[in-house]
Amino acid sequence: MTATSFHPPQRILMGPGPSDVNPRVLEALSRPTIGHLDPMFVALMDDVKSLLQDSFLTKNKLTMPISAPGSAGMETCFVNLVEPGDTVVVCQNGVFGARMKENVERCGATAVMVQDDWGKPVDPNKLEEALKANPDASIVAFVHAETSTGAISDAEALVKIAHDHDCLTIVDAVTSLAGSELRVDDWNIDAIYSGTQKCLSCTPGISPVSFSEAAIEKIQNRKTTVQSWFMDLNLVMGYWGEGAQRSYHHTAPINALYGFHESLVILQEEGLENSWARHAVNHEALKAGIEAMGLGFFVDEAYRLPQLNAVTLPEGIDEAAVRSELLNRYNLEIGAGLGPMAGKIWRIGLMGHASSQQNVLTCLGALDSVLTNMNAKIDSGKAVSAAMAAFS
């Protein structure tokens, strides 16, 4: 077989991630590669750290990108903070809380689960009860924005409860960073991780993380060695530390970091709070169109993520067939449900560069057309005008 170059089609990515990549980021990826200890690259690393601190709204010195996707950011938090024999309270209201539990157990610790229904936020009262029942717990872990359902939890309240019981916190902000209000310092979050492929409009493959002084103290005073060499922050800190003197740890994904830097520059130009507002405005227009069609949302409005919309199906419709039609006819990708929500919802993303008026109207028009052709029980022809009214 003769190998040929790969040329993907131009899709509109409105699923749960990755999201559309800003063209400026794609251009940045193509810039000349330099050494990962080149003085110019070291200067870029410092700039990335500063911009990332602004994005997280933190002054944490240990704020940096992990050279791997968001799942590696999650694992970095757990393997550094959790030791064998620890008790960790894990709040689960979707798929990604279960992944936290898996990490806790692989670290040799005990996971105490606080369970909430899918589509509901984490219940602070349940967390309080779990901590009272487990006074030996040292860490609380929860997902701020649950990508599997489109529900957001009250991170500030959950962190306060954890601290009242002398626990550190690990927070999943993969979908919330740059899309929803997130204030690491004001909310006193100890360890947080995210991803570049959602509201930051960058390619997948990098995981921003940030650690408080309390978290760093625990890492530096571990009784056992971190089980992952690559993710051991005692080693990584030497490479991503302060100043020009960097100790070699690994070869950073140089061009990927060019792209990440550019995405952070774009975010700074827009303004963090303006980014939050843009996601909210586009969600309201999408909501108007979805409801004008006669469809609904899985998550109650008070807990609904603007950047990840779980939309319920019309009666008798094969959701996979709809997604296939959207992809093949309109080059438009939306997501399926996960776990118990498989076959019951679509997950429509409005993240980062993909969160635009044009994409909202395109998605609604395409979805209306496909469902109408399938004789779905919807109010045809109303979605786009309802969204346009919401915009105006």
Write the pLDDT tens digit of every residue in 193-231: 999 999 999 999 999 999 999 999 999 999 999 999 999
Pairwise CA distance, residues 391 & 388, whole Å: 5
Q: How many CA atoms lie within 13 A of 46 on its CB side?
A: 12
- Alpha-carbon distance of 104 to 78, in angstroms, equals 7
CB-based burial of residue 2 (10 Å sphere; 0-12 exposed, 13-18 middle, 19+ buried)?
exposed
Mind listing the pLDDT tens digit for each residue in 262-271?
Answer: 999 999 999 9
Would 23-268 and 272-391 be classified into the same CATH topology? no
CATH 3.40.640.10: does it fit domain 23-268? yes
pLDDT per residue as tens digits for the range 150-191: 999 999 999 999 999 999 999 999 999 999 999 999 999 999
Checking if the pLDDT of 60 tops 90, the result is: yes
pLDDT of residue 242: 66
Q: What is the pLDDT of residues 338-370, one digit of tens each?
A: 999 999 999 999 999 999 999 999 999 999 999
CA distance 258 to 18: 18
Instruction: Return d(Cα 324, Cα 320) in angstroms, integer.
Output: 6
Q: Which residues contact 112 (CB under 8 A, 6 or more apart)?
A: 87, 88, 89, 90, 130, 133, 134, 137
The string of pLDDT tens digits covering residues 107-134 is 999 999 999 999 999 999 999 999 999 9
User: Does 301 have pLDDT greater than 80?
Assistant: yes
- Percent of the chain at pLDDT above 70? 99
Strand partners, 110: 87
What does the DSSP 8-state code read for residue 364?
H
What 8-state DSSP symbol labels residue 274?
H
Token digits of residue 87: 């008790």
Are 193 and 199 in contact by the 8 Å Cβ rule? The answer is: no
Please report which confidence band the pLDDT of residue 259 belongs to, taking 50, 70 and 90 as the band edges. Answer: very high
Mean pLDDT confidence for 81-101: 97
Coil/strand/helix, residue 92? strand
Helix (H) or strand (E) holding 193: strand 191-193
CATH fold for the domain made of 272-391: Aspartate Aminotransferase, domain 1 (3.90.1150)
Mean of pLDDT values over 76-86: 98
Neighbours of 136 (CB within 10 A): 9
Report domain extents, the chain: 23-268, 272-391
- Nearest-angstrom CA–CA distance, 242 and 317: 56
